[in-house]
Amino acid sequence: MRKLFRVVIVSLALGVSPSALFAHATLERASPPVGSVVNGSPSQIRLWFTEAIERRFSEAVVIGPSGNRVGRGSASGNQLVISVPRLGAGTYRVNWRVRSIDGHKTEGSYTFEVTR
Amino acid sequence: MFSIHSVLRITAAIAVLQALSVSGASAHCYAGSRFFPATLVSEDPCVADELSLPTFTTIRTPGSEEEPRTRETTYSFDFAKRITPDFGIGMGRSYVKLKPDGMPTVRGWDNLEVSAKYQLYTNAAHEFVFSVGVDADIGGTGSRRIGSESFSTITPAIYFGKGFGDLHSGLNYLRPFAVTGVVGYGIPSRASTLGLDENSDLSIERNPHTLNTSFSIQYSLPYLQANVRNTGFGSIFNHLIPLVEFKFETPLDRGQRGQTTGTINPGFIWVEKKFQIGVQAIIPANNRTGQNTGVIAQLHFYLDDIFPNSLGKPIFGGRP
């Protein structure tokens, strides 16, 4: 029993150590920030995740005030970058779905507002 | 405590386990962008690979004419393993220490608990999870000294979780709310058991069927941060889920009908990438339950994130 307990403790210690890099990728921050109001159009939208993400299985789209898609993102490292045209005033929704490099899938959605 | 050789052996074993695997893993308790943490008092609604080690509780139980006040402390572990992406089994055990006022301490293991759960339905858009399962407390596997039951109790149950991320954007600040719950029906394997009372006379204890309900109300600051508004609170708060749990047991027959006992458990869960820490109060819900406040604390590991390619993935059907 004591030996089993040792195995469990050492295994967990190794597993949660900083050197073990993989976990669910969750949104750490974004630019423009989640729920923010920005003055003028951003040139791009950037999302930072807590883990590296798989490029082929990770994506984000930006939906404009009229419901049309205004941008689509591409992944690199722990970021998703979405190039957008000049955005008019209104509320924009960012829908993202990513897969971390160990296969865990996560998704989310948030809005930001552009003012003139 | 550990020799170098034993640490190396364990490390090598872990490396082999991880290398053996085919890639693929799935989430712990997610429905869409909602993460339901493992709640301390009630079972969470998902099937997952997880380990609670330890769960610590301490509370002082009230005395009576026959028994002195007693400090009750438990150290528990619970392990859950997915067999398929939607079906999992679990086991748990508690080591109990009873310290009656003015009397010697009594220690021992409580009965073994085993469980099985099937995650029937998950709706990502509405952040909803529904599962069915059964929990069994195996009588006679614990120590009689601490009062472990000699009979078994089988509890079929339903589990649910609902996040409110689908609320209208005008209610943005309510979207981080979520509720989870469990409703179970406890079936004892014996209607009554014989025992000895304090005068060493034979006594009969009747074991009723019970309605077991528990639910939690949670407000997820990680959800607020990622889906509603960047609060700027800082990373400590961005990992925090304040919650209140409620747990009740209501006997349904055998002379004890309606004598509900229960606790209210406010506190928080702090969620990290691969583990969570929870601390909650144990407040009796009525006089029948007691009058003293206790504490429950838990360190909980997400095995699917710690060992995504071995212990933390389903045995069959690795990638859902």
Give me the residue from B2, B23, B32 closest to A10, CB to CB.
B2
CB-based contact B225 A34, cutoff 8 Å: yes
Number of domains composing chain A: 1
Does residue B311 lie in a domain region? Answer: no
CB-based contact B305 A36, cutoff 8 Å: no
What is the CATH classification number for the domain harbouring A59?
A: 2.60.40.1220
CA distance A7 to chain B (A): 6
CA distance A86 to chain B (A): 23
Number of domains composing chain B: 1
Is some CB atom of chain A closer than 8 A to the CB atom of B306? Answer: yes
pLDDT for residue B296: 98
Residue numbers of the domain that contains B286: 4-306
Q: How crowded is residue A85: how many other Cβ atoms within 10 Å of its Cβ?
A: 10
Does residue A80 lie in a domain region? Answer: yes
Does residue B157 lie in a domain region? Answer: yes
CA distance B308 to chain A (A): 7
CB-based contact B230 A15, cutoff 8 Å: no
* Residue that wins the pLDDT comparison between B161 and A6: B161
Does residue A85 lie in a domain region? Answer: yes
CB-based contact A102 B309, cutoff 8 Å: yes
Does residue A1 lie in a domain region? Answer: no
Residue numbers of the domain that contains A53: 23-115
Does residue A111 lie in a domain region? Answer: yes
Convert the pLDDT of each residue in A56-93 to its tens digit. 899 999 999 999 999 888 898 999 999 999 999 999 99
Taking 80 as the threshold, does the pLDDT of residue A19 lie above it?
Answer: no
Q: What is the mean pLDDT of residues B159-172?
A: 93
Does residue A71 lie in a domain region? Answer: yes
Q: What is the mean pLDDT of residues B95-106?
A: 95
Does residue B32 lie in a domain region? Answer: yes
pLDDT for residue B18: 35
Residues of A in contact with B126 (CB under 8 A): none
Confidence of residue B174 (pLDDT cuts 50, 70, 90): very high
Does residue B317 lie in a domain region? Answer: no
In sequence order, the 6+-apart residues with CB closer than 8 A to the CB of A46 are A30, A31, A79, A80, A81, A82
Does residue A6 lie in a domain region? Answer: no
Say whether pTM exceeds 0.95: no
Does residue B187 lie in a domain region? Answer: yes
Does residue A56 lie in a domain region? Answer: yes
- Taking CA–CA distances from A19, the nearest residue in chain B reads B306
Does residue A66 lie in a domain region? Answer: yes
Q: What is the mean pLDDT of residues B180-192?
A: 97
Residues 137-196 of B with CB under 8 A from A: 169, 172
Is some CB atom of chain A closer than 8 A to the CB atom of B288? Answer: no
Does residue B315 lie in a domain region? Answer: no
Query: How far, CA to CA in Å, does B314 sit from each of A115, B229, B319?
Result: 48, 35, 8
ipTM over 0.95: no
Torsion sign across C-alpha atoms B37, B43, B48, B50: positive
Q: Identify the three-state secondary structure at position A50.
A: coil
What is the CATH classification number for the domain harbouring B150?
A: 2.40.160.40
CA distance B30 to chain A (A): 8
Does residue B14 lie in a domain region? Answer: yes
Does residue B312 lie in a domain region? Answer: no
